[in-house]
Amino acid sequence: MAAVRADTADVVVVGLGPGGEEAAGRLAEAGLDVAGVEEGLVGGECPYYGCIPSKIMVRSAGLLAEGRRIAGHAGTVMVHPDWRPAARAVRGATSDWDDKIAVDRLVGRGVRFLRGSGRLTARDEVTVADTDGNEIAVRARQAIVLAVGSEPAIPPIPGLARTPYWTNREAIRAEEPPRSLLVLGGGSVGLELGQAFCRFGTPVTVVEGMQRLLPREEPEAHELLLKVLTEDGIEVHTSARVGSVEYRDRSGFTAYCERGERLAAERLLVATGRRSDLIRLGALAIDVDDEAAALPVDERLRVAPPVGGRPGIWALGDVTGKGAYTHMSMYQADVVVRGILGEGGPPASYHAVPRVTFTDPEIGAVGLTEWEARERELVVRTGYADLSASARGRTHQIGNDGFVKLVADMLSGVLVGGTTAGPYGGEVLGALSVAVHARVPLTVLREQIWAYPTFHRAIGDALRQIG
């Protein structure tokens, strides 16, 4: 067995996804000796298997959909989908899943890069094992940052584990669209990728266990998506539990639902959420329950503060369970960096977390849903505006489905949440995000002039309903 080498650093960052890379780079630029540990690709899920390649696929699919909308509005056009340019663009954006550019960028910022799997082996120590079995035990003088992200959570459905199912990773690397696709999970991954493949000609079936698609968002978002996805040709099953899964080389996958449906497809995409592996991380070494769903953090993202000369332990990104988004990981990285450098500044605040599901129409949302606001016993009033009935909706014509829904707390007189669904729904969200984040008083918002005829003008229409 190879000997364990010993090393020290001011800061050890474990996991170099969007947040870990940002934190490591900034701390090194501030003059600290930073060891950055990554077992996969520097940059993490987002640039190689998540946000970026999936949005390239969504954009290519969106072009096809727009092309098909020309008929009856602006002439005639023959649309022949071709997956190859989309796959080529994905390969280009990911450098064919090679992180050399990212590693060079990181090292250029002054980070000492260690390729390997990091495991907590003491309160102040991370042991890094490379694929050859070599180990380095790195003792942190000042801080350890845990930024290990998440991986797909695979439900324990009988038969599933033995099959060659896809997760987002295989779907993103697809060299051709499947002949047919069964999607398990009607969340962001399942709906974005399902709709994209559908528009390239794949018959798609979505199976969602809860009553609604995007169950954490407003019910109106589900209603809208159910309508447009069904119009796209996607078969949607909600409140559907898959009891078992079978796979045969010739016929592909068959999923047997508990209420009797038998669903067959060439490919099965499992998109049922994410999990973080705290056992593999060695969380017990820092007295954290390694069966927990996330690392417990305080408002400064500390798992354990620095005490008695021992380094502080910080966490950021998906592993904190505060919202699995790249912007969350980057936001938390800023709080962590300020904490380690002793710069002060505001703690983390989650009252205005924005999120966008990049279906067509896009579902943007920020802050609380109506249900969440009522659960908190706020004095809730809501406003709703239908985009297709707005001036911009009427000029936009086909593809104008969408709505704006606002959630106000009348006691504090501010918006506490909202949803902007529709064409460019994620962009329209910007205005609402500012209002919820900055707690702009309703009295001030009501005086705002909303440009005519824009989609965001529907925010003004919905505000009038709140009164």
Ligand X SMILES: Cc1cc2nc3c(=O)[nH]c(=O)nc-3n(C[C@H](O)[C@H](O)[C@H](O)COP(=O)(O)OP(=O)(O)OC[C@H]3O[C@@H](n4cnc5c(N)ncnc54)[C@H](O)[C@@H]3O)c2cc1C
Q: Name the residues that contact ligand X, by CB under 6 A.
A: 14-20, 37-41, 44-46, 50-51, 54-55, 117-118, 147-150, 168, 189, 281, 317-318, 324-327, 329, 358
15 vs 185 by CB, closer to ligand X? 15
Q: Which of residues 143-162 bind ligand NAD (CB under 6 A)?
A: 155
In the list ligand X, ligand NAD, none, the entry touching 185 (Cβ below 5 to 8 angstroms by class) is ligand NAD
- Identify the three-state secondary structure at position 289: coil
Q: Does 382 bind ligand NAD (CB under 6 A)?
A: no
Beta bridge partners of residue 207, listed in sequence order: 184, 237
15 vs 312 by CB, closer to ligand X? 15
Instruction: List the x/- string, 322-361, binding to ligand NAD by CB under 6 A.
Output: --xx-----------------------------xxxx---
167 vs 400 by CB, closer to ligand X? 167
Residue nearest to ligand X (CB): 149
In the list ligand NAD, ligand X, none, the entry touching 321 (Cβ below 5 to 8 angstroms by class) is none
User: How far does Cα 113 stand from its chain's mean position?
Assistant: 26
Element (H, E) at 465: helix 457-466
The residue length of the chain stands at: 467
Which listed range, 71-79, 124-132, 186-194, 366-374, lies at the site for ligand NAD (CB under 6 A)?
Answer: 186-194
**270 closest CA partner among 199, 168, 344, 200:** 168
In the list ligand X, ligand NAD, none, the entry touching 45 (Cβ below 5 to 8 angstroms by class) is ligand X
Peptide bond preceding 361 in cis form (omega within 30 of 0): yes
Q: Does 186 bind ligand NAD (CB under 6 A)?
A: yes
The total of other beta-carbon atoms located within 10 Å of residue 156's CB is 6
For the chain, what percentages of helix, strand and coil (3-state, to nearest 5) are there?
Answer: 35, 25, 40
Output the smallest distance, CB 184 to ligand NAD, in A.
Answer: 5
What backbone phi and psi angles, to 5 degrees, belong to 172? -65, -30
Tally of CA atoms within 13 A in the half-sphere of 122 that contains its CB: 9
In the list ligand X, ligand NAD, none, the entry touching 149 (Cβ below 5 to 8 angstroms by class) is ligand X
The residue count for binding ligand NAD (CB under 6 A) is 25
DSSP per residue over 219-247, as a string?
Answer: HHHHHHHHHHHHHHT-EEE-S--EEEEEE
What is the rounded distance in angstroms from the CA atom of residue 188 to the CA atom of residue 393? 25
Output the smallest distance, CB 297 to ligand NAD, in A.
Answer: 17
Which listed range, 119-127, 206-214, 438-446, 459-467, lies at the site for ligand NAD (CB under 6 A)?
Answer: 206-214
In the list ligand NAD, ligand X, none, the entry touching 14 (Cβ below 5 to 8 angstroms by class) is ligand X
Q: Find the angle CA(225)-CA(228)-CA(234) to the nearest 5 degrees.
A: 90
The total of other beta-carbon atoms located within 10 Å of residue 342's CB is 6
In the list ligand NAD, ligand X, none, the entry touching 184 (Cβ below 5 to 8 angstroms by class) is ligand NAD
187 vs 393 by CB, closer to ligand X? 187
Q: Which two tokens stand for residue 97?
A: 């899943």
Output the smallest distance, CB 245 to ligand X, in A.
Answer: 21
Q: Is the Cα torsion angle 160, 161, 164, 167 positive or negative in sign? A: positive
| Rg over CA atoms, the chain | 24
In the list ligand X, ligand NAD, none, the entry touching 37 (Cβ below 5 to 8 angstroms by class) is ligand X
Interface pick for ligand NAD out of 32, 35, 207, 303 (rule CB under 6 A): 207
Q: Which two tokens stand for residue 168?
A: 């987002």
Instruction: List the x/- string, 232-261, binding to ligand NAD by CB under 6 A.
Output: ----------x-------------------
22 vs 461 by CB, closer to ligand NAD? 22
Q: Which of residues 262-321 bind ligand NAD (CB under 6 A)?
A: 271-274
Q: Does 187 bind ligand NAD (CB under 6 A)?
A: yes
Are the beta carbons of 18 and 44 closer than 8 angstroms?
yes
Output the smallest distance, CB 443 to ligand NAD, in A.
Answer: 32
B/e letters for 259-275, b = 16+ CB within 10 Å, e = fewer, are eeeebebebbbbbbebe
Alpha helix segments (H runs only) across 241-325: 278-281
**228 closest CA partner among 58, 360, 355:** 360
Interface pick for ligand NAD out of 79, 210, 264, 466 (rule CB under 6 A): 210
Output the smallest distance, CB 421 to ligand NAD, in A.
Answer: 13
Chain residues that interact with ligand NAD, rule: CB under 6 A: 155, 184-190, 192, 207-210, 215, 242, 271-274, 324-325, 355-358
